[in-house]
Structure 1
């Protein structure tokens, strides 16, 4: 974690220096490839750069916990989060369109990072550094490229991926068409399969860096997206066979102020600090201004429908704050919500961290956990034959036991529709306000629009085509007829 933060700080310093009017401009395309990258530090600089867009930064980190990050925006399209105003309300009502810049910006701001990673992979491949250094560096960048590509693919569907020969000739204007779905999946899949071969094992990977477990976890998400159930099962078995991962006894403690550096449940976490290098703003987003100890902006709430879906003893709803005494000495709850709980409880998820010095927190941003492997395998086992099995139920019960709720019985979920309704509920309860992938879970099972309509009633503007977000009008225009808008938005 320390090394990653230092690396990110170095990149920020480089950026500031590059913007100084007192310094000469250097065209990086003129760097002699026989001189850079060659050393371990050269390759490490390129690798650290690949983590840069994946951090938690309001300005330019895709995993920001603000409205400029994936989790906030994706969970806000589901019953997990509801927005009383602004872009969060747009997400809640599914009223986004090609002029919704807060939605289209994720592609506009981050797709070019994939091209940068492609160029950096080529630079390392062409270097004379020792083979182990090159393999490890390329594996980390491929994992970063695959993660970012998967996240954009999940949001927008297939998009443009510029080939290396085009990137190496930047002065030639050549509009490109989006990849087909098969090409997009193959591009992401191959990066991850390659990365899984050369990344370190989970026990050897530094905290906050990619491991073989992370590469295979993203493969699971990709295969779930494509309903490739046997491949989901295969990758889950590969992770289980590593013999490293296990569930923590304390679910709530995973989001305590102490980073879960030693946790064998965390597959990948984005380190956060209080200095703005990689930041966690979630308390600032969630807590209202009159919250005791330390308030915030109160920009988002959960829904009472989501809160009511938990079993009474389920510890996973601990930080869904349904009642609090404000600094005005008034008790706010469902019966007296004010303008703070009118949609639902406060979805705090992480520790309150009342002693923090700034509005940022040092609670790390967990993206993937071992519980996801178990529930994904359970879903795959049932759906590959459309017949739920005892093994699938047993895997779910492992997760439920940690949540301190009663086990479920196969007899109650013997048909596939009932099973899938149950697994969606379990996924929402286990992963709320983590990586935003519950939206994709709903889409996979054809429930995205149905659940939005149930939640919002006549105010809902959902439709089947809104399972994909629109591209910006500027990107469609730049495509000169080759880059086609997603269906339904024309």
Structure 2
């Protein structure tokens, strides 16, 4: 166990901190490209910098498990999470607007990282190092750029993507317009397809790094977003044909203190460590202060509506804590929620890690799993033709069987509407508190506003335009008329 933890921490330092002996982050965008990179070690340091914004850091890691991360905010716009105050309540009520910095910040903090990766690719292409090293490095950066671009596109719609020639002339201030939807999709798709062609197979890829399976997984998410069902099926088939991935028998154990380094289900995870190189703060976010052994801030809850949607024997419900006896000796539950469970159960998902010595935990942040491939293919098969099939039902049952619940029958889901309602529910049960993509699932099926209104009633400020987040007023101003705000926020 100790050796495995040491391995994970060392890998994190390599992945997220480059080759600096003092383990300090380096802004590679400020390094003179005429003298860097000069060696294979320099190239690997640049690759490490591409992973840097994708880690779990509170300040500048987009996969933070705090309110500054995707999962927290995006699941809070659905019935999976609810917030009693602050930014989490804004998310729950869909009350965000252009002045809501917690919602505009994802673009403000991370959009220029796409430009940084574009410059990194150019520097590596022009480096005098081994061609295979260059090819592998560029593939990793393209996967990172494709992933980050997709995540921001999912939040805001098309982005500004600066061309290389403009990035090479930073002193020339050129206002740029957002890409069209087709241009944005093409940009992401090209990166991910090229990455999939050159990245290593999952069995040859170190834990925490990108494989060709990961590139194809993000392509699935992109194609789901665009309802390109045949393309979803194609990428799912390609991943399945690798004959590498499979469901882990122990669903709950995927979020144990022991990292799932050898799990064939994990497509990509962000390793976490006590040093804060990449932080997992989820226990701190969800556990009440009086939780036994070690508590937290209790900033977010699930909803009783979500809790009640599970079948009684579903093991995926295990970590939705509906009752606990606090350090004050009082038992809290739905009947006696106090300020800890008034909206819903505690959505712990990961191991409590009561032995942790700091506010952080070493439970890794699992972002993508093979179960997503299975359910995505099932959805694609049905929506491609408009008719549910036994093949799609069988795929769903693979996931349900692992969850210890009954198999479903085609006769009960024999229309497109019935099947899609079922697949949405199944996705919410399988992926809650992982990558926040259930919001996108609801949007894809036209249910985002409907679910928000049903959950919060008259208090909800949801509307169809809230499916996209707003851009900050600063970005609009900088655009000098070329950068157009999303509809509804003017």
Equivalent residue, structure 2, for 1:434 = 434
Matched position secondary structure for 1:203: helix
Asked whether the equivalents of residues 310 and 429 of structure 2 are also in contact (C-alpha less than 8 Å), the reply is yes
Q: 1:16 to 1:270 in 2, by over 3 A?
A: closer
Matched position secondary structure for 2:295: coil
Instruction: Number of aligned residue pairs: give it.
Output: 482
Matched position secondary structure for 2:143: helix
Equivalent residue, structure 2, for 1:23 = none
Matched position secondary structure for 1:306: helix
Equivalent residue, structure 1, for 2:16 = 8
Equivalent residue, structure 2, for 1:386 = 386
Find the aligned partners of 1:465 and 1:275 in 2 and give their Cα distance. Answer: 40
Matched position secondary structure for 1:267: strand
Q: Does the alignment pair 1:459 with 2:459?
A: yes
Equivalent residue, structure 2, for 1:303 = 303
Asked whether the equivalents of residues 4 and 48 of structure 1 are also in contact (C-alpha less than 8 Å), the reply is no
* Alignment RMSD (CA, Å): 1.5
Equivalent residue, structure 2, for 1:44 = 44
Equivalent residue, structure 2, for 1:82 = 82
State the Cα deviation string for residues 344-367 of structure 1 (Å, max 9, x = none): 000000000000111100000000
Q: Does the alignment pair 1:333 with 2:337?
A: no
Find the aligned partners of 1:232 and 1:297 in 2 and give their Cα distance. Answer: 40
Q: Which segments of 5 or more consecutive residues in structure 2 lack a partner in the other structure?
A: 1-7
Find the aligned partners of 1:85 and 1:50 in 2 and give their Cα distance. Answer: 34
Matched position secondary structure for 2:155: helix
Find the aligned partners of 1:110 and 1:369 in 2 and give their Cα distance. Answer: 24
Find the aligned partners of 2:20 and 2:71 in 1 and give their Cα distance. Answer: 24
State the Cα deviation string for residues 214-240 of structure 1 (Å, max 9, x = none): 000000000000000000000000000
Equivalent residue, structure 2, for 1:276 = 276
Matched position secondary structure for 1:423: helix
Per the TM alignment, residue 37 of structure 1 is displaced from its structure 2 partner at its CA by 1.6
State the Cα deviation string for residues 199-223 of structure 1 (Å, max 9, x = none): 0000000000000000000000000
Matched position secondary structure for 1:366: strand
- The 5 A counterparts of 1:9-408 are 9-10=17-18, 28=30, 30-32=32-34, 35-408=35-408
Asked whether the equivalents of residues 301 and 346 of structure 1 are also in contact (C-alpha less than 8 Å), the reply is yes
Per the TM alignment, residue 162 of structure 1 is displaced from its structure 2 partner at its CA by 0.2
Per the TM alignment, residue 13 of structure 1 is displaced from its structure 2 partner at its CA by 7.7
Per the TM alignment, residue 29 of structure 1 is displaced from its structure 2 partner at its CA by 5.8
Find the aligned partners of 2:434 and 2:335 in 1 and give their Cα distance. Answer: 28
Asked whether the equivalents of residues 72 and 436 of structure 1 are also in contact (C-alpha less than 8 Å), the reply is yes
Find the aligned partners of 1:245 and 1:30 in 2 and give their Cα distance. Answer: 42
Per the TM alignment, residue 6 of structure 1 is displaced from its structure 2 partner at its CA by 3.3
Matched position secondary structure for 1:235: helix
Equivalent residue, structure 2, for 1:483 = 483
Asked whether the equivalents of residues 64 and 279 of structure 1 are also in contact (C-alpha less than 8 Å), the reply is yes
TM-score scaled by length of structure 1:
0.96
Asked whether the equivalents of residues 33 and 123 of structure 2 are also in contact (C-alpha less than 8 Å), the reply is no
Asked whether the equivalents of residues 284 and 360 of structure 2 are also in contact (C-alpha less than 8 Å), the reply is yes
Asked whether the equivalents of residues 208 and 270 of structure 2 are also in contact (C-alpha less than 8 Å), the reply is yes
Find the aligned partners of 1:275 and 1:176 in 2 and give their Cα distance. Answer: 39
Find the aligned partners of 2:437 and 2:334 in 1 and give their Cα distance. Answer: 28
Q: 1:18 to 1:119 in 2, by over 3 A?
A: closer
Matched position secondary structure for 2:367: strand
Find the aligned partners of 2:29 and 2:276 in 1 and give their Cα distance. Answer: 28
Per the TM alignment, residue 5 of structure 1 is displaced from its structure 2 partner at its CA by 1.9
